[in-house]
Each structure stands twice: as C-alpha cells, then as structure tokens.
C-alpha cells in the first residue's frame, strides 16, 4: 500500500532547508549503493554523518512524529536517520530494491527497511523528469509531488527515479522498521484505524467505536513486535 501525506513541511521550513542545501557538501550517491544497485545509481547525496544532514533530518522526523497519518500507517518501531539526495544533469536511479537491513550511520542501529519514505523538497515545476516509479503487488505508480509532501510505500517494492533532464530534484529519504513487518497486515490496521476515527465523530457510534477499537488493539497484540 502507498500513502501520500501532504504538507509535512511548511513553506518556511522548505525555504530554509533549500537555502542550507545550496551550500551543502554533496557527495557521489554511489557511496551508499549496494553491490547490485551501484550500476543503476547516478545522483548526489549528503553524507549521513554530515552535521547538516543530521540537523535537517531531525527537523523532518520532528514533523512526521506529529503526523497521525504517518504514525497510523507506519506503526514505527525504529526510524532510520533521514538522508538527502540531489538529481540533476540526467541523473537517475534505475530499477532496484533497497537493502533489507541497513546500519544507521548516525545511531549505529541495525534497522529492517519495512517502509520507504521520500519527502519532496522542491516543486515539480523546478525540474523535468525525476518521477519516483514504484512497482509492487498493487501495480505501477508514478509519483512527483509538491514540495513538502511525502510518499510512504513498502520497502520491498521495486522502484526507480527517472532521469532529471532539467533543473534539480531535491528530496529526503529514509526507512522505517515497523512494529508490524507484514505490509498486508499494516494496511488492514491502517484502514481499520481510519474507519474508527471516522465513526468516532458521531456520539451515537460510541459502542461500535469501542468494539472496533478493541479489535484493533487485539490484532496489534497478535501481530506487533514492540
């Protein structure tokens, strides 16, 4: 299942982030590619341990930690420190699957990449190409979102970034280890949570809301790794 979360970052946050990234020390993105993906990758990244990447990443995680849709969808157990990339001059990332386990260079933790997140940092009109194309059991979807919007999707998905033929594409990306590792189960819990929230707006649904909330938490007890 894929989820688009609008307006994760404010216009002021985005302007400040883009200003700081203009003077950042960008490195060859192939430094963090796995052996199978390295031939597919042509972009630039900030080093994970760059103080600027850590500072900006904390700002993004601070915004998402307050976002109920992200929490409901991802059910996060651990979150990888956000990274930052830049595509320009025909840069692209061919079809690949992210490594299943990654070591967070900032925290040193080993994290299972159940869920991938991309936060777009500049507007689609700023560049041509640069679509995130995700292919999984739900079909093929092409994503190019307004600045500040995020897309969240299963880490097991085949995906690619199409060549950027004009301008620059700026984004942050990271992975989440979910308490519920199975995507189908996470999707059911997310839909159930949405239904409960919708019903809760009417006082006459109180009994049903209580029953469904019990079902939700009992499923979490069966499926979640705390």
For 156-174, what is the mean pLDDT? Answer: 97
Q: Does residue 128 register a pLDDT over 80?
A: yes
> Which pLDDT belongs to residue 34?
62
H-only helix segments in 49-182 = 51-65, 68-74
pLDDT of residue 120: 98
Sign of CA dihedral 113, 117, 176, 107: positive
**Look-up: residue for tokens 């409960």?**
196
Q: Mean pLDDT in the chain?
A: 95
Minimum mean pLDDT among 13-17, 57-61, 93-97, 175-179: which range?
93-97
Q: Residues with Cβ < 8 Å from 76, sequence gap 6 or more?
A: 176, 177, 178, 179
Q: How far apart are alpha carbons 65 and 79 in whole angstroms? A: 10
Looking at residue 35, what is its pLDDT? 64
Residue 56 in tokens:
């900006």
For residue 18, pLDDT beyond 80? yes
Domains and their CATH numbers in the chain: 3-178 (2.60.120.620), 183-223 (4.10.860)
Residue 37 binned pLDDT confidence (cut-offs 50, 70, 90): low
199 Cβ contact list (under 8 Å, min separation 6): 205, 208, 209, 212
Mean pLDDT value across residues 118-124: 98
Q: How confident is the model at residue 31 (pLDDT cuts 50, 70, 90)?
A: confident
- Distance set, CA 8 to CA 3, 150, 215, 216, 222 (Å): 13, 7, 30, 26, 31
């Amino acid at each position: 299942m894929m989820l688009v979360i609008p307006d994760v970052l404010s216009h002021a946050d985005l302007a400040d982030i883009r200003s700081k990234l203009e003077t950042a020390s960008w490195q060859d993105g192939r430094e963090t590619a796995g052996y199978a993906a390295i031939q597919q990758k042509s972009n630039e990244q900030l080093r994970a341990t760059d103080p600027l990447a850590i500072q900006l990443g904390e700002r993004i995680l601070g915004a998402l930690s307050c976002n109920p849709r992200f929490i409901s969808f991802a059910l996060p157990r651990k979150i990888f420190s956000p990274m930052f990339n830049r595509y320009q001059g025909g840069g692209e990332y061919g079809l690949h699957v992210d490594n299943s386990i990654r070591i967070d260079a900032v925290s040193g933790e080993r994290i299972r990449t159940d869920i991938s997140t991309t936060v777009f940092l500049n507007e689609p009109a700023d560049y041509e190409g640069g679509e995130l194309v995700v292919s999984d059991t739900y079909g093929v979807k092409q994503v190019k979102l307004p600045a500040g919007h995020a897309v969240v999707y299963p880490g097991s998905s085949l995906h690619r970034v199409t060549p950027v033929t004009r301008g620059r594409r700026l984004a942050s990306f990271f992975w989440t280890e979910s308490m519920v590792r199975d995507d189908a189960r996470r999707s059911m819990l997310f839909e159930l949570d949405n239904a409960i929230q919708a019903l809760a707006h009417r006082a006459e649904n109180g009994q049903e809301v209580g029953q469904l909330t019990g079902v939700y938490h009992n499923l979490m007890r069966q499926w979640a790794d705390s």
